[in-house]
Amino acid sequence: MAYPYQAGPTLSPAAQQAISTYQLGAYHSEFKVGLNRHYISGIILGLAITLFFGFFLVKAGNDSSNVMLIFFLLGLILLIYYVVDFLIHMSWRVYLCEQGFLLMKGSQADPFRWDQIQGMWQEVTKHYRNGIYTGTTHKYTIQRLDGHKVIFNNKFKEVGKLGDALSDAITTFMLPRALAAYNAGQVLNFGPLSVSRQGVSNSKETIPWHEIKEFGVNRGIVSVRKEGKWLNWSTISVAKIPNFFVFMSLTRSILNQVRR
């Protein structure tokens, strides 16, 4: 399985031991929590509020109001929260390997082999203010077969690349098995959607394969294009579909088979 990102620095002894113990295979790349925009924005905002209202509290002295004190305390709490949260998570590392990935929380190892992963949910949201792009938030949830979950968000540097790498690896592992299950006549469930020989169902409606031209995503909502029109499944968002890219790759592969 190929990874497009360069390997990180030399592994710590604890990480090397965990990768070997859990048979995760060759190590490829590292992602870590860093002092990124997520933390810097929160720290600056908390500091600005604290200093602003702290200045007026000192200047007003005994005449200061409870409102100023409340805002001062809120700013201080916000500042402390982001500083403490960063200090707690700054040692976290994700190591991508041939057979899975390893999350290290300091010296605590949390392994996820590809063959032990049940699903991955992803939610990527672009934010705009007055038509101006202000940033993107990422949330990737991965669940093992034993029910254990881990969430990666904007606390991680290059979290978008981390999410893409995980999604690519999971899709590469799961897609051949999904195709084999489909060809064997099984029903494959992707949260609110299911795929079978009869077509794709959202529990309310099943669309036969011969009526489907292509699948797409419109503003985070799964859509299916029938001949001459788009049909939006307005209640189904990408964030609710586990292994979304497995679903998309599987349906495209089936549509190619149907058209032959």
Q: Which helix (H) or strand (E) holds 80?
A: helix 66-89
Cα end-to-end distance, the chain, whole Å: 29
- Amino acid letter for position 184: A
Strand locations in 130-220 (E):
132-144, 149-153, 188-190, 193-196, 199-201, 206-207, 212-218
- The structure tokens 């007055």 sit at 130
Residue-level pLDDT at 234: 63
pLDDT (tens digit per residue) in 180-208: 999 999 999 999 999 999 999 988 889 99
Least confident of 109-113, 122-126, 218-222, 253-257: 218-222
Q: What's the CA gap between 169 and 181, in Å, rounded?
A: 19
- Whether 235 shows a pLDDT value over 50: the answer reads yes
Residue 8 has pLDDT above 80, yes or no: no
Q: Which residues pair with 245 in a beta bridge?
A: none
Q: What percent of the chain has pLDDT over 70?
A: 95
100 CB burial (10 A radius; 0-12, 13-18, 19+): buried
User: Which secondary structure element, helix H or strand E, spans residue 16, and what is its range?
Assistant: helix 13-21
The confidence score (pLDDT) of residue 7 equals 43
Amino acid at site 131: G
3-state secondary structure of 120: strand
pLDDT at 92 (0 to 100): 94
Q: Which residues contact 48 (CB under 8 A, 6 or more apart)?
A: 75
pLDDT at 3 over 70: no
Mean pLDDT of the chain: 89
Q: Cα 184 to chain center, whole Å?
A: 31
Strand 108-113 vs strand 100-105: parallel, antiparallel, or unpaired?
antiparallel
* pLDDT value of residue 153: 94
229 token code pair? 């029109």
49-86 pLDDT, tens per residue? 999 999 888 887 776 678 889 999 999 999 999 999 99
pLDDT of 233 above 90: no
Confidence of residue 1 (pLDDT cuts 50, 70, 90): very low
Q: What pLDDT, on the 0 to 100 scale, is given for residue 175?
A: 97
Query: Within its chain, how far is the Cα of 140 from the centroid?
Result: 2
Residue 47's nearest CA partner among 72, 74, 71, 75 is: 75
- pLDDT band for 9, please (50, 70, 90 cuts): low
Span 156-180, mean pLDDT?
95
Q: What is the pLDDT of residues 82-128, one digit of tens each?
A: 999 999 999 999 999 999 999 999 889 999 999 999 999 999 988 88
